[in-house]
Amino acid sequence: MTTDLKSLINPQLRNVDSAKVAKRRLPIDAVDKLADEIVSEYNNSDFRKWYCGVINDFGFSKVNEWQARSREGKEPSRLFSRFVKDARQYKDKRTS
């Protein structure tokens, strides 16, 4: 009986096909492009890596929605960050 490292770390991954996992990954160039747009819109290049993580965690449509909604606020970058924080808290509560 052989076991791989993935199944030892997380038993739920035992039956996951690696090809399906690869299909769920977002294209790096598209993530970079959207992150660059956000950085230029909010003028804060220090957070580019964080924006890339947000895009990978929540996807293009959700990030675009938050961007559009945050443009209506007084401080769009802070409102965008608030949307992300709230979504992460909700996601953590659901998985706990």
The token duo for 34 is 């959207």
Predicted confidence at residue 1, as pLDDT, reads: 47
Note the pLDDT tens digit of each residue in 35-94: 999 999 999 999 999 999 999 999 999 999 999 999 999 999 999 999 999 999 998 888
Predicted confidence at residue 6, as pLDDT, reads: 54
46 assigned to some structural domain: yes
Number of domains in the chain: 1
Expressed as residue numbers, the domain containing 88 is: 26-95
Is there a contact between 84 and 77 (Cβ–Cβ < 8 Å)? no
Predicted confidence at residue 73, as pLDDT, reads: 95
Note the pLDDT tens digit of each residue in 12-23: 555 555 555 455
pTM for the whole structure? 0.72
Measured CA to CA, the distance from residue 58 to residue 89 in angstroms comes to 13
53 assigned to some structural domain: yes
Predicted confidence at residue 91, as pLDDT, reads: 84
7 assigned to some structural domain: no
16 assigned to some structural domain: no
**Count of C-beta atoms within a 10 Å radius of residue 39:** 16
Is there a contact between 80 and 66 (Cβ–Cβ < 8 Å)? yes
Predicted confidence at residue 5, as pLDDT, reads: 54
Helix residue ranges per DSSP H, 17-95: 18-24, 28-42, 48-58, 60-70, 76-95
The pairs formed by 78-82 with CB atoms below 8 angstroms and a separation of 24 or more are 80/38, 80/42
21 assigned to some structural domain: no
